[in-house]
């Protein structure tokens, strides 16, 4: 489905600097200042319309969240939810996820969420997958030692590829579900895509992996 362009979205995003960080590079290495506390920071790369990240921020007030989405016509929906909920522990970044190295320093982040990322199914596009080894190195470079990636998808091929990629990189597997909604996992917060896919009876795959502490 074609994305509906909202020409007014960029201006509205700029009107709420308390929620949408306009110059994220200024906080590199000092993201605790953006929240005025020392709580751990979790980010979602590709936050879409924000259902997941807003739900997580509501459920976990002692964790700080950052939702990252490059399309302003999409992230504006997350902003609308944030304005209504008035959540002090959630910030939004309207940026391309490939720019993360310019924004986060080592130890800034405790956890990365990847939800229903583009599978890029063709082999020649492997390097664009958010679970490709160069992205895994990128996440590691901005996370605390022992940081985690939590990954969800409806795409079996991407899930199998990601498990291999995680293993080859040396990540430790903490949790895996081949059918999340028919498992005993508790506390799942769905994304917009997850609601749509699961309502059609599609299986949802989920895993949690952890970076090893390197000496």
pLDDT tens digits, 49-59: 999 999 999 99
Q: Where are the beta strands (DSSP E) in the chain?
A: 41-45, 64-68, 90-93, 109-115, 143-153, 172-177, 205-210
Q: Count of residues for the chain?
A: 215
Phi, psi of 134 (to 5 degrees): -70, -35
Confidence (pLDDT) at 215: 60
Burial of 97 (0-12, 13-18, 19+ CB in 10 A): buried
Of residues 16 and 7, more confidence is placed in: 16
Burial of 88 (0-12, 13-18, 19+ CB in 10 A): middle
Give yes or no for residue 69 having a pLDDT over 80. yes
pLDDT tens digits, 147-182: 999 999 999 999 999 999 999 999 999 999 999 999
Phi, psi of 180 (to 5 degrees): -55, -45
Confidence (pLDDT) at 10: 87
Beta bridge partners of 114: 151
Residue 154 annotated as catalytic: no
Which one is catalytic: 118, 141, 145, 154? 118
Give yes or no for residue 8 having a pLDDT over 50. yes
Token pair listed for 108? 């800034």
Residue-averaged pLDDT of the chain: 94
At 2, the pLDDT band (50, 70, 90 cuts) reads very low
pLDDT tens digits, 110-132: 999 999 999 999 999 999 999 99
Q: Look up the CATH architecture of domain 40-210.
A: 3-Layer(aba) Sandwich (3.40)
Give pTM, 2 decimals.
Answer: 0.94
DSSP secondary structure string for all residues of 109-154? EEEEEEES-----SGGGGGGSTTSHHHHHHHHHHEEEEEEEEEEES
Confidence (pLDDT) at 15: 95
Rounded to whole angstroms, the Cα distance separating 142 from 68 reads 15
C-beta atoms surrounding 58 within 10 Å: 15
Close Cβ partners of 29 (under 8 Å, ≥ 6 residues apart)? 105, 108
Domain ranges of the chain: 40-210
Confidence (pLDDT) at 3: 56
């Amino acid at each position: 489905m074609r994305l509906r362009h909202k020409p007014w979205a960029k201006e509205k995003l700029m009107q709420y600097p308390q929620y949408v960080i306009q110059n994220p590079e200024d906080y590199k290495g000092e993201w605790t200042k953006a929240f005025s506390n020392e709580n751990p920071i979790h980010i979602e790369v590709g936050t879409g319309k924000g259902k997941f990240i807003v739900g997580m921020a509501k459920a976990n007030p002692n964790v700080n969240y950052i939702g990252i989405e490059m399309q302003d016509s999409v992230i504006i929906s997350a902003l609308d939810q944030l304005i209504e909920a008035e959540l002090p522990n959630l910030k939004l970044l309207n940026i391309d996820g490939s720019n993360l190295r310019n924004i986060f320093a080592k130890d800034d982040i405790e956890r990365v969420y990847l939800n229903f990322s583009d599978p890029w199914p063709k082999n020649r596009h492997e390097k664009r997958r958010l679970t490709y080894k160069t992205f895994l190195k990128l996440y590691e470079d901005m996370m605390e030692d022992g940081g985690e990636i939590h990954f969800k998808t409806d795409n079996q091929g991407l899930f199998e590829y990601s498990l291999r990629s995680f293993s080859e990189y040396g990540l430790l597997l903490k949790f895996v579900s081949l059918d999340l909604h028919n498992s005993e996992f508790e506390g799942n917060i769905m994304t917009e895509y997850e609601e749509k896919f699961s309502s059609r009876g599609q299986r949802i795959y989920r895993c949690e992996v952890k970076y090893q502490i390197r000496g």
